[in-house]
Structure formats: structure tokens, C-alpha cells
Amino acid sequence: MATDSSMVDPLAEGEPAPPVAAPGDRRRLSKWRLYSRRFARNRPAVAGVVIFVLLVAFALLGPLFARYDHVELDFLALSDPPSPEHWFGTNNAGNDLYAMVVVGLQRSLLIAVVVATGTTILSAVIGTAAAYFGGRVERVSLFVIHFLMVAPTFLLLAMMSNDSGGDWRVIALVLILVSWFFQARTIWTLSLSLREREFVHAARYMGVPGMRIVLRHLIPNIGSLLVINFTLGVVGAVMAETGLSFLGFGVKLPDVSLGSLIGIGSSSISSAPWMFYFPAAALTLLTVSMALVADGLRDALDPTSAAGGRA
Amino acid sequence: MVVAVTNLTYFLAWAYLDPRSNYVGRRPPLSEEQIVNLLEPRNLDDNVPLLERWWTWFSGIVFRWDWGVSPTGQSVNEQVAYRMWISAELMLGATLLLTLIGIGLGVYSASRQYRLGDRVAQGTSIITMNIPIVVAALGLVLLAIAFNNAVGSTIFYVTGASSPGVSGFFPTIVDTAQHIALPTAALVLVGYAQYHFLQRSLLLDNIKSDYVRMARAKGLTKQQAIRKHALRTSLIPVTTQVAFSIPGIFTGAVLTESIFAWKGMGQYFIETISKNDINGVVAVAAFGAVMTAIGAILADIAVVVLDPRVRVS
């Protein structure tokens, strides 16, 4: 059989004998060093981090290099292809596409991060609290969760954000409202077993108040799941926001996001394809890089996973 | 639950949509009386108390199965009945294809875990799964336009479900295929990966189990053991997942339909919201809720049929 231990699944092929360290030079790995080492071994995940950091840098530093503002109109260059003057070309009104992509990326990133943070916090608190307190709290939260699962959330989302007139804060809030409950349900299932553990009983008999147990003892124990949920939440939020904006229900002019840019670009896709290329490339890089990071994190944080290699 | 959701949507729709605004900005301006005359017979007049409107609407459904009319007077029943099948035409093929491709790839990459083929397949899948559907669909449109230009004739149509004026059996089939190819490809491209990952991890769990080792010990080849023993058990959860995706077949892919200009349920949904068509919005929501319920029931039936350990008493 193969002996290259990095490529062998120890579960399937039997554990190769662990390298015996001399008793003197055995060091303890801290949790975070272990995680980062496992993560760094996953090359696609590292590539995802690099792409994501570059995109964030582009969104933050891009305006420094922009020659035009995203609402500024250049009437001498209508629907121009990319040129030294306008790096990404212009649209039919003379807006500089480079400036618009930078602003759109900022907007999409901001919405995504806000939504992912809000969703993670809300689902963690509600899921664990429902499991820990039980009784009426549990029944009410589960009823709400199940009701939202049947409710036509995308419809609500479209109606509410259409009504908001394109304010990104309202869109972010509505996105949080319609996306927390799936995660909350998963967390509730996990926390059911967690609440029977000794350290929770110990804390309870010591008289620690309930909400404090939830925040200090239960939530840290599902920390790795929350980290993964957060990264996947960013992907989901970006996709939902761009879908809404593409249809015209989300961010509205003069504010732009990647979705609304693609929506504008799609109407002139055969005559001015660059209006589609650049926002689409930014959007795809954003979602794919975050998904690679989430995948790497899952392998790195999961103690039973063999995909990251040993240790 | 379905009835509760539908009624709740009715009130929510009234809170967010305003049919009156369809007529207010008209030129020449309509008088208040004219607007009321247009809206009142359609049960869309906001001067009538909400509860009364609700009762007219609800009793219409319960007693006459009449879901109301849009602000322009079209019957919602007709629209849904017609659009449902357009969505189904598009989504059935796509769901079938992406399920088969996903399961096939899953079996392939599970039986060669961590080898080159598995790594390449997984790498591709994680990328395609996270391409936003908008980008995938529009990218395909660009490719198809380039292809059509290169060939010199229109092989792929990028808009609509069919061309007008096509008759006869075979021309209709060819015409449909030309229209359906691109949206199906877009849906399959972004959708197959979830079944790939699901099938792969389920099959891996089963390959390591005792009864598959037993089958191998009996002298079956690895391929035979996977096909006859491991695959059968691992198909059960995948089937459940597919059954749950059936509501999507009829409610449709909102973004795909609007990009390719298919007049299905997804496109209806956008149209109703932007035209303040409250009765239409509620009908879409109710339809979605019913489909979700049917999907859940189908999933249960599928498990009973496939899994001999589950018996209905």
C-alpha cells in the first residue's frame, strides 16, 4: 500500500505508526497553532484567503487610484470599452466602471459581513438558549423557526427590501431576519446534548445564572461551528443580495452593488460585455474564495477530519 | 400551516404593496372616482376596510376557488395554471440531469478518495457550486452568442421558451431543445455540486462499514461491492434531498427565468411584486407553501419505499 502518509486516509487504510518523538523535545501545540497549521496545509483554502484579502484590499484601497467618482458622468466617453482613461470602460451614461465596481464591491462586502455577523449571533443565542432553558422558551422559539421555514421568505425579502427604497441597512436587516433560523435549528439540535454535559450541570449547581451559562459555557463550545457558519453566511448573503439587486429589488441607483451592476450589464451584454465581465469576476472571486475558506476551516476545526493530514 | 401562511402573506402584501399607485401617476390623470371604479370590482380598493377585503378574497377561494384578479384584470388562476407548466418543463429536466451528474460524480470520487480524480472533481465542484447563478447564466449567454456567430446560424436561443409560429411534432421538439438548452445548462452547472458532495460523503461512510468489508471478503471486486451494497444504502438520503427539491421544480428558478425570459412561476413572482399585484403575490406564496408540504410528504414516501428498515404500521 501507499506509504506517503499525507495522501492516505488513516480511517480507511489503518493508522500509520505515529512518529515517535524523543521524550525531551515533545512540545504541546496550542489549539490555535494546531488549527492554523492544519489550515495552512490546505492549499485551496490558503488561496481562498489570499484572494479574499486581495479583494478586500481592492475595495478599501481602490478609491485611491480611481480617477473618477462613481456618480460622475463623462459625456465624452459613453459606452467606451476599457481604455487607459477608463480602466474598466464606461456605461451608456458615462459612469466610470472601475469606480462603480469598487463602490459596488464595498457595498456587497459590507452587507455580507453585517448579515453574516448578525445571523451568526442571533442563531447562536436563540438556538442555545432554546436548548438550555427548555420549556416555554424552547416551544416558542421552535414554533417561530418552523413557521419561518414554511413561510415564503424570498417573497417577504423581495417585498420588504423593495419597499425600503434601496437602503442597504434595511436590506441587511431583512436578510438577517430571513436567514437566521436554519442555523438556529442546527445549533439547537447540537446544544441539546451539550446541556446534559457535566460542566453545564456544575455551573448550574454553582448558581450561575442561566443566560450567563448560555453565553459563557454553551456558545464557546460550538465556536468552531459558528466560525464555519459565518464564512458560509458571507457566501449566502452575497448571493442573496446580488440576486435581489439584480432583479431590481435590492440596492438601487445611485447606490450600486455588484448585483445591480451585473443587472445593468446584462441589458447590454452583447454590445458592451465589459459591463458584465468586471463585476461578475469580482463577485465570483468573492463567493468562491469565501467557500474555499469555509471548506478549509471545516477541515481544520473538525477533530475527526482526515482531509487536513495528521495533527 | 399552509392556510395560516397564505393568510399572513395576504396581510403582509397589503402592508407593503399598493395597487393604487399603479393608477395615480397616469397621464392624463385619473380622478379619484375613476381609480376607485377600477380597483373596487377587483377587490383592490384600499378604502374598503382590510378585513372586508380579506373576507371577499378568502371566501372567493374557499367557495369558488377563485384567487382574484391582478390590477389590470387578468385572472390569477389562469396565470398560475399556465406558468406552472413552463416552470416544470424547465426544472424537471434540469433536476433530473443535475441529480444524475451529481450522484455519478459522487460515486466516482468516493471510490477513488484523495486520488487525483477525486481532488480534481471536488475542486471543480466547489468552484461551480459557488458561482452565482446570475454570473453562470449570463456567461453561458455570452458563450452561446459567440458560438452562434461562429457557426453563422442561431443554434441556441437566449430568450423565451419557444419561437412563435413553429408547428409540427419534430420542429416543435427541436425548437424546444434550442430554447431549453441554455437555462438547463446554467441550472445544472450551479446545482449538481451539492449532490456530488452529499453522495460522496455518504458513500464513503458506507464503504468503511462492516457489511461492505464482508462483501469484499466474499470475493466481490471493489466496484461490485460499491454498486450492489454501499450505493444502495447511501442513495436513501440523497433521494430524500431530491424529493425536498421538488417544490423548486414548480416555483421555479427566479433568477434563471428572468434572465432567459421564460414566463414561468419565478418570473411571475417578480412581475406580481413590481406591479403591486397583491392577489398574484399571495397565490405564488400559497403555491410555494403547498409544494413544500408535498415535497415533505414525497420525501417520507421515498424513504418508506427505499429503506426496508422503515415500515409503515
The CATH number of the domain where A102 resides is what? 1.10.3720.10
State the nearest Cα–Cα gap between B101 and chain A, in angstroms.
21
Domain assignment present for residue A117? The answer is yes
Q: What is the pLDDT of residues B240-275, one digit of tens each?
A: 888 877 776 666 578 888 888 888 888 888 888 877
Residue B1 or A52, more confident: A52
Q: What is the pLDDT of residues A259-277, one digit of tens each?
A: 888 888 877 777 777 778 8
Chain A residues touching residue B126 (CB < 8 angstroms): 44, 288, 291-292, 295
Q: Is the pLDDT of residue A16 over 60?
A: no
User: b or e along A232-265 (b: 16 or more beta carbons within 10 Å of the residue's beta carbon)?
Assistant: bbbbbbbbbbbbbbbbbbbbbeebbbbbbbbbbb
Domains of chain B (ranges; CATH) run 2-64 (no CATH), 77-308 (1.10.3720.10)
Q: What is the pLDDT of residues B119-160, one digit of tens each?
A: 888 888 888 888 888 888 888 888 888 888 888 777 788 777
Share of chain B above pLDDT 90, in %: 3
Average pLDDT value for chain A: 79
Domain assignment present for residue A108? The answer is yes
CA A191 to chain centre: 22
Determine the pLDDT at residue B50: 75
Domain assignment present for residue A258? The answer is yes
CA atoms within 13 A on the CB side of B290: 10
Chain B residues touching residue A295 (CB < 8 angstroms): 126
Q: Is the pLDDT of residue B71 over 80?
A: no
**Domain count across chain A:** 1
Domain assignment present for residue A10? The answer is no
Domain assignment present for residue A14? The answer is no
Domain assignment present for residue A112? The answer is yes
Over its C-alpha atoms, chain B yields an Rg (Å, rounded) of 25
Closest-CA residue of A relative to B114 is A7
Backbone angles phi, psi at A73, to 5 degrees: -110, 135
Q: What is the pLDDT of residues B171-221, one digit of tens each?
A: 888 888 888 888 888 888 888 888 898 898 888 888 888 888 888 899 888
CA atoms within 13 A on the CB side of A150: 22
Domain housing A133: 41-301
Q: Phi/psi class of residue B5: alpha, beta or left (left: φ > 0; alpha: ψ in -120 to 50)?
A: alpha
Share of chain B above pLDDT 70, in %: 90
Domain assignment present for residue A19? The answer is no
- Nearest Cα neighbor of B235 from B192, B191, B202, B193 is B202
CB proximity list for A116: less than 8 A, separation 6 or greater: A230, A231, A233, A234, A236, A237
Chain B residues touching residue A11 (CB < 8 angstroms): 208
Instruction: Name which of B5, B113, B126 is nearest A150 (Cβ-Cβ).
Output: B5
Pairs of CB atoms within 8 A across A/B: 114
CA B121 to chain centre: 25
Rounded to two decimals, the pTM is 0.79
A305 three-state secondary structure: coil
